Structure formats: structure tokens, C-alpha cells
A = this chain, B = another copy of it.
Amino acid sequence: MDRSKALAALSALAHGDRLDLVRLLFAAGAGGMAAGEIARTLGLSASRLSFHLAQLEQAGLIGSRRVARNVIYAVDAQGLGATIRYLLNDCCGEDPEVIACCRGCGAGEAEAADRDRG
């Protein structure tokens, strides 16, 4: 990921509605959610939702597909992963203290790895 893509992704994430949107779509999983359902869930007007969805999609953080009358949106996990990786690799130079924080996140996985280890 290059700097301009990372900036686009960070700008896209730097808004309350869009952060809620990402959270909701991760909760929805790979199946995604129709725009109308998202609007009802978050209480956003159609045009406002469309605006924010477009920002997230342009930033590569979500994807969409049309199914009949509906447009289904779903997260692009790799897009968000690449953004986080950019922060860790290119901005922090893999700073151990930051990585330690990041490790804390995947707590479930870390524990599983510990078990695997013995």
C-alpha cells in the first residue's frame, strides 16, 4: 500500500458514521448488508449513507454488489488489514512497543498460539 492509498483509508475512517459503518459491516460478515438495511440500522438518510459508503468504497475498505433491487455492501478485510500494516510497517518502522499493543488485540489468537507452542 502506498502513502496516498493509506491517506485515503485513514481519511475514510476518520468519521463517526463511517467507523460505525465499518463496525456494522464486520459484524454482518462476508454476506454483507443491503444499503437500506444499513440505513435503518444506523438511522441515516439514504443520501447521507450513500455518501459515506462511497467514501469507504473508494478507499478500498468495503466492496459492493447489486442483488436485484438491493446493493449489498461488505467489508474488504484486506483493505483494512493493509491500512493497519501500513501504519505498522511504514510509519512506525515495526516499533516493538506498537507491535506489542497490536499483539494484545488478537488476544484469542495469541492464546491459541501459546497453546500450540506447548
**A interface, CB within 8 angstroms of B:** 3, 6-7, 10-11, 13-16, 19, 22-23, 26-27, 75, 77-78, 80-82, 84-85, 87-109, 113, 116-117
Contact = CB atoms under 8 A, between A and B. Distances in A.
A91 B26 contact: yes
A102 B117 contact: no
Contact of A11 (B14, B102, B116): B14
State the majority secondary structure of interface residues on A.
Answer: helix
A71 B98 CA distance: 24
Contacts of A104: 81, 85
A81 B94 contact: no
B109 A85 contact: no
